[in-house]
Structure 1
Amino acid sequence: MAARKPLLFWSALVSCVSVVLGGDSAWNGVTQKANNGLSSLGTSLFTPFYVPPGARAYDSASPLVLYTGAWVESFSSAYVENTLHSSSRKDSSTFFSFTGTGIEWFGNTGVRHGIADVYVDGVFIRAVDTWNDVSRRQQRLFWQYGLTHGRHNIKIINSGRRRTGSRGHIVDVDAFVVTNPGEATVTQRDSRPPSKPALRQNSGWTLTQVGSTGVNAMQLAIISDSHALIVDKVEHNPLEINGHPAWGALYNLHTHSIKPLSMQSNSFCAGGSFLGNGTMLNVGGNPVVEDFTSATDFGDVDGIQAVRLFQPCDSEDVDACDILDAPSQTHLASPRWYTTAVRVSDGSVMIIGGSVKGGWMNNATVNNPTIEYYPPKSILGSDAPIYSAFLASTLNSNLFPVAFSISNGYVFVAANNDVMLYDWRANTERRLPPIPNGVRVTYPLSGTALLLPLSPETGYTSEILVCGGSSIDDNRPSWEISSQEPASAQCSRIALTEEGITRGWEVEYMPQARVMPDAVLLPDGQIVIVNGAEAGIAGYGNVQSQVGKSNADRPTLTPVLYAPRAPLGQRFSSEGMPTSDIPRMYHSVATLTPNGDIMIAGSNPNLDRSEMMFGTEYRVEWLKPPYMTQERPVILDVGGGEKRLGFDKQIVISVQPVSGSSLRGRDVQVSLMDLGFVTHGVHANSRLVYLVNSVDDNKITVVGPPNGEIYPPGPGWIYVVVDGIPSVGVKVMVGN
């Protein structure tokens, strides 16, 4: 048989030319040839073999793939390049040498398949069980990313083992996909120094890369002391479930293992929040997209009115945990793409704005200027979505509004560069001074924002910090906007008291301009700002001078620390902070973990998974403050093991101080934190409330928040901070 050349691309099995459900495109105006013509979700006809732009595929008959032992070559149109190599003989092996940063192995699964041992660069990685009770073709059986760019090899050995119930020992090789096969990707093309000098030096901070999310981390929430929930849009992720790519996963914070979730609808640009009973609510998304603007036809269902529910799952064993995703049974009252969800003082979730279909920048023809609630409720005698004049007047850049429930029971909302306080019970809007200097902070001119820590010493006065974004005119068409236009370094801060509103916004500047940043609260009240870019805007495939498909360029790779209590002009510092080599731009996330470090993941400014410039990122980074390497206090018990914190009720926390010393005479704070739901720079519900406390030796008596206006009822995390050093957080349920 004549030697074949490596497979450099994948032709569509069936040309898929149809229309989006409802007749409209929904993918940022980008067109890309569909990859597969597929049937319904999870059937045996689904073939997840995919070669991302910038990657390279080699079929099983490539002369670069070497076989040892008894292998049989088969021919069928069901195989990549019509060929497949199989072996049922123990110790038969395949060896493939490649240049790149990652490797994927594709083959078949079925009832007669067995277990293979996989080695990369001579090191055993894991055993791969290729058995399945459903026969499937072109399945991704193994993947390994994050290799140093250079020469590597993979060896697959038929172990001769099989699971109980398997009827054979077959191991297949259909194709390999090599990621980043060319020159090492340049992560930052512009090495100009930060636009502002660093103000303070930070020592002891570290940044490490450990783990892979398996699905792009577009949305992120901590659900327990051991797991994070990750949600993505419909695309060719390497993690699979039921024979198709997964679009959601549970990430184990301790072992870095991942479990795919069985999502049915397209959660592209959905919003999310915890409900008062601890259930994670994920709402909205994208319709089914079946024309050339889709990644491919995955068999997903319409997600633009979806209500996805993830019930509390606090065990480290998450085998039985999954997400309920049945839009035909439970759905929103109106379509919402790029919507924000925020928990209010009665524990329900207010769902704000969005668009009635996908697109790029919002406009009057697709704007959804309404608010609704989950669970649904009647406001002023009506349970229909409530019209908002504010959301109607803030076009065009008003998607993913910034929203926080504040201490007087109102909701702070920012969209574009406009701001209001919303009385959700009375349905009244009060306009506040706009964000200064024409800086816009919501998609696609995305900034980030936080509610600053609430303290009983100040009467729980609410202050809002809004950082980054862009001053680009949102009426300009995309063809007049460039990825090289500078982002904003501005941070604006306002106290939401009558005196503070009269005084207006206080303006300061980050060391670097940032669009699409993430701001994360630490248990000691400081704030870390990560991710983003110095130029361009959010999204992909829209503006001039795209980098790959990215609308932004010049990634910001160094974190910035913000000290809210420091004097104006002395709050920012970046010197001494570790610098990443991973761009984190559109579809990136960051969150505080129960352990007290910061989980950083995501980035995918592309229609589908890509390996080109600013391609899809699955690597996870962990930014560790100095206290992570110091002796830390340990929470031994909360409330007698009940881990409940009622409003204005006392509970006792038992603590093991550092070095076995007493807590007496120490600076002790108890931080109650909502770690929030993170997507697109929006940190919905992120919150820190300092609890009133009294210390008696190694026990701390704390008083719960006064009411749901100070801390909306729901899940939270208690950190005990002794002399500036926080404990590991303990999950509690807050409220009555």
Structure 2
Amino acid sequence: MSAIPFVFSVLILQLLFASQQCHRFLAAAADGRWQLLQKSIGVSAMHMQLLRNDRVVVFDRTDFGPSKLPLPNGKCRNDPSDTALKVDCTAHSVEYDVLTNTFRPLMVQTDVWCSSGAIMPNGNLVQTGGFNDGERRVRTFSPCSTCDWQETPNGLAAKRWYASNHILPDGRQIVVGGRRQFNYEFVPKTITANTFSLPFLSQTSERGVENNLYPFVFLNVDGNLFIFANNRAILLDYMKNKVVKTYPTIPGGDPRSYPSTGSAILLPLKNLKAAAIQAEVLVCGGAPKGSYVQAVRGKFIGALNTCARIKITDPNPQWVMETMPLARVMGDMILLPNGNVLLINGAGSGTAGWELGRNPVLNPVLYKPDNKIGTRFETQNPTTVPRLYHSTAALLRDGRVLVGGSNPHAFYNLTGVLFPTELSLEAFSPAYLDTKFNNIRPTITAPKSMSGIKYGTKLTVRVVITGKVAKNQVSVTMVAPAFNTHSFSMNQRLLVLGNDKVVALGKATYDIDVTTPRSGNLAPSGFYLLFVVHQGIPSKGIWVKLQ
């Protein structure tokens, strides 16, 4: 497909919708730049995953009828169980090539609607569940220029719809929850495959509303799993199927999980050589209690404007509340290479669900976790494209954030509706990509991309920095590529390796010595993006394989 370059900076937005007010918040110091990459890729990006070959797999669902992208060479999907179209000659998945700004159609055989997944240690995307004939499927996509989806029937022990996945230190995926599934299981299955009961999921499910789907799951530094659903969390020893800690309810008690969809991240892990490493989780946005029922009745309640932050490793952990500059439901939270967090996409009122969101939040917000409370949020320049229900976002190797999706309708509605189905792809460039920082921006020259690194060993990263170097502001970071859908980036993780020593070699060249993570509890084996950050400005990343 031909590239459609269209770069623009927005200073002042005019009214976009005569009948629909949008959130706009322009500060004098607003930063960031938007770029339209593709006007249409033919498929709305409900799910998104960056691969180690700098391509992004995007997919929607199969049961809404034809997409706007035909399958190649007369290929058609024959599915007698499909609820919309038994013979479908259009694609419901694409592979987007970041480096060439092109895309190609892919073919999924069963319904991937509201599914989940993660990158395995070998770099393959293993994706699970969905709806109807897809609810027990396991699908694999290998990074290669001609690869397509491969499917395993009955690869799951239970039906998984709206579940969450995470890579474990032993290389398996854990699949947690899903609609009416108050349990978890592992992928790949073993001969003794089974599901393991998790009563916490039934305890957090509200009758008729749920508010606990797509639970927020993070691997803690002790190897246990932090699992958040609705408005509270537990720490689970998944091997023994035992809850080892129960966290307090977020103050106010409002739900943060689907369909009152907030978002959450594990904040960057630091001081990795310390005996006791601290881990913090940040949960932002969502919808007040009762919002879903009200939205179904046509009344759209304002979204939550709060974030809750907790040190999950503390012996007596407590939530600390913060106020965002913009209320947001159905937003995404993306870890940037320098350790800051980007809040992007979403609505200012309503909830997730067909036709249930209003007041698009067009401005991203930057969250700086190391700043003092009250000074952490910075509003960024706005897009012109509403990204509501079924929007996605993913960090790219060059530091941009890829943004796609938004389909608040049961089918593709491109005209005559308040918020048309969105088939475009955009990129948001944070301020650190401004050319004015080029003199302090590192360029990695060694190791080469795709190099292997081992646990707990010395690693030397060589960079070129043309400007004056502040050695105490040089840091190496590693970011795990996340599987993004429904406002949650599964398996998202950033490790700050810092620097043990910076040595000037002359001719603007420097060697940075760091120590790699010591165990799979800190960083499960697999592919990571490695960046060098200087004075808050990141290099382009390189791929490394931790093993």
In the alignment, what sits opposite 2:174? Answer: 350
Corresponding position of 2:44: 216
2: CA distance, partners of 1:465 / 1:187: 36
Report deviation, 1:664.
Answer: 7.3
Secondary structure in 2 aligned to 1:436?
coil
- Name the counterpart of 1:324: 150
Kindly indicate whether the alpha-carbon contact (under 8 Å) linking 2:478 and 2:528 is maintained by their aligned counterparts in 1. Answer: yes
Q: Which residue of structure 1 lines up, in the alignment, with residue 60 of structure 2?
A: 232
Aligned ranges for residues 156-167 of structure 1 at < 5 Å?
none
Q: Measure, in 1, the Cα distance between the counterparts of 2:4 and 2:542.
A: 33
Deviation at residue 191 of structure 1 after TM alignment: 4.9
2:513 corresponds to 1:701: yes
Report the residue type matching 1:420 in the other structure: I
Secondary structure at the aligned position of 1:494 is classed as: strand
The alpha-carbon deviation at position 249 of structure 1 amounts to 0.9
Deviations, residues 628-662 of structure 1 (Å, cap 9, x unaligned): 12312111122x66611211022322212234x6x
Q: Determine the C-alpha separation between the residues in 1 that align with 2:409 and 2:472.
A: 51
Contact 1:664 1:696 in 2 (8 A): no
Matches within 5 A, 1:583-598: 583-598=386-401
Q: Which amino acid aligns with 1:465?
A: L
The equivalent residue for 2:128 is: 283
Which one of the candidate residues 412, 428, 443 is aligned to 1:634?
443
Task: Give deviations 1:170-207, integer Å, cap 9, x for gaps.
Answer: xxxxxxxxxxxxxx97287125666xxx8x75454211
Alignment of 1:145-156 (within 5 A): none
Q: Are 1:468 and 1:489, in contact at CA under 8 Å, matched by a contact in 2?
A: yes
Cα distance change on mapping 1:192 and 1:643 into 2, 3 Å: closer
| Alignment partners' CA distance in 2, 1:529 and 1:332 | 33
Could you tell me which residue of structure 1 aligns to residue 138 of structure 2?
A: 307
**TM-score normalised by L of structure 1:** 0.65
Distance 1:593 1:415 in 2: 28
Measured after TM superposition, the shift of residue 497 of structure 1 is 2.2
Contact 2:24 2:363 in 1 (8 A): no
Could you tell me how far apart the structure 2 residues matched to 1:279 and 1:482 are?
Answer: 43
- The answer to whether the 8 Å contact 1:185/1:613 transfers is no
Indicate the residue corresponding to 1:617 in structure 2. Answer: 422
One-letter amino acid matched to 1:645: I
- Per-residue CA deviation, residues 562-585 of structure 1 (Å, 9 max, x unaligned), is 1101111111121xx211111101
Query: Is residue 268 of structure 1 aligned with residue 82 of structure 2?
Result: no
8 Å CA contact 1:188–1:555 kept in 2: the answer is no
Q: SS at 1:627's partner residue? A: helix
Structure 1 stretches lacking a partner, 5+ long: 1-124, 127-142, 147-183, 288-301, 356-366, 541-549
Partner residue, 2:479 = 673
User: Is the 8 Å Cα contact of residues 447 and 466 (structure 1) preserved in structure 2?
Assistant: yes
Secondary structure at the counterpart of residue 147 of structure 2? coil
Q: What is the CA-CA distance between 1:717 and the residue it aligns to?
A: 0.5
The answer to whether the aligner puts 1:646 opposite 2:477 as a matched pair is no
Query: Partner residue of 2:10?
Result: none
In structure 2, what is the Cα distance between the partners aligned to 1:677 and 1:647? 24
Equivalent in the alignment of 1:449 = 264
Q: Is the aligned partner of 1:374 residue 2:183?
A: no
Preserved contact between residue 664 and residue 695 of structure 1 (Cα < 8 Å): no
Task: Find out whether 1:559 has 2:364 as its counterpart.
Answer: yes
Aligned to 1:466: 283
Distance 1:647 1:509, change over 3 A: same
Matched, 1:394 2:207: no
Is 1:687 the counterpart of 2:504 in the alignment?
A: no
Partner amino acid, structure 1, of 2:488: V
- The question of whether the paired residues in 2 share the 8 Å contact of 1:205 and 1:624 is answered with yes
Output the amino acid matched with 1:214.
G
Whole-Å separation in 2 of the counterparts to 1:569 and 1:483: 32
Question: Paired residues, what number?
Answer: 502
Q: Distance in 1 between matches of 2:445 and 2:498?
A: 19
The alignment partner of 1:240 has SS state of coil
Cross-structure match for 1:27:
none
SS of the equivalent of 2:352 reads strand
Instruction: Look up the match of 2:9.
Output: none
Q: CA 1:145–1:652 in 2, change beyond 3 Å: closer, same or farther? A: closer
Give the Cα separation in 2 of the matches to 1:422 and 1:711: 18
Q: What residue in structure 1 maps to residue 254 of structure 2?
A: 439
Are the counterparts in 1 of residues 286 and 329 from structure 2 also a CA contact under 8 Å? yes
Q: Does 1:254 align with 2:99?
A: yes
Contact 2:30/2:381 (CA < 8 Å) preserved in 1? no
Q: CA–CA distance in 1 between the matches of 2:392 and 2:491?
A: 15
Displacement of 1:273: 0.7
Equivalent position SS for 1:691: strand
Structure 1 segment 398-437 matched on structure 2, within 5 A = 398-429=212-243, 430-437=245-252
Report the 3-state secondary structure (helix = DSSP H, G, I; strand = E; otherwise coil) of the residue aligned with 1:655: strand
Go from structure 1 to structure 2 and tell me whether the alpha carbon gap of 1:705 and 1:145 turns closer, same or farther (over 3 Å shift). closer
Correspondence 1:562-577 to 2 at 5 A: 562-574=367-379, 577=380
User: 1:54-113: CA deviations, max 9, x gaps?
Assistant: xxxxxxxxxxxxxxxxxxxxxxxxxxxxxxxxxxxxxxxxxxxxxxxxxxxxxxxxxxxx
Once the two structures are TM-superposed, the CA of residue 470 in structure 1 deviates from its matched residue by 1.1
Q: In the aligned structure 1, how far is the partner of 2:57 from the partner of 2:371?
A: 34
- Partners of 2:341 and 2:368 within 8 A in 1: yes
With over 3 angstroms needed to count, the CA separation of the structure-2 counterparts of 1:453 and 1:325, relative to structure 1, is: same
Rounded to whole Å, the distance in 2 between the matches of 1:668 and 1:520 is 22
Distance in 2 between residues matched to 1:193 and 1:634, nearest whole Å:
36
Distance of aligned partners of 1:699 and 1:208 in 2 relative to their CA distance in 1, 3 Å threshold: same
1:620–1:188 CA distance, 2 compared to 1 (3 A): farther
CA distance in 2 between counterparts of 1:333 and 1:202 reads: 52
Q: Deviations over 1:229-266 (max 9, x none)?
A: 11111132211212511111110112221111121011
Give the match for residue 655 of structure 1.
Answer: 463
Distance in 1 (CA, whole Å) between partners of 2:482 and 2:214 is 15
C-alpha separation between the residues in 2 aligned to 1:580 and 1:414? Answer: 30
Deviations 1:262-314 (A, max 9, x none): 21011000001111222211100011xxxxxxxxxxxxxx101110111244x
Structure 2 Cα separation of the partners of residues 498 and 702 of structure 1? 27
Deviation at 1:559, TM superposition (A): 0.8
2:530 is aligned, of 718, 722, 727, to 718
The one-letter amino acid paired with 1:653 is V
Matches within 5 A, 1:155-194: 186=17, 189-191=20-22
The answer to whether the 8 Å contact 2:60/2:92 transfers is yes
Between 1 and 2, higher relative CO (CA 8 Å, sep ≥ 6) is seen in: 2
- Conserved? CA contact 1:435–1:505, under 8 Å: yes
CA–CA separation in structure 2 for the residues paired with 1:144 and 1:669: 35
What is the distance in 1 between the residues matched to 2:150 and 2:18? 38
Amino acid at match of 1:343: I
Q: Which amino acid is the alignment partner of residue 251 of structure 1?
A: Y
Aligned match of 1:21? none
Percent identity over paired residues: 31
Distance 1:332 1:610 in 2: 33
2-structure distance, mates of 1:658, 1:338: 48
- Provide the C-alpha distance between the structure 2 equivalents of 1:656 and 1:688, rounded to a whole number of angstroms: 23
State the structure with more CA Rg: 1
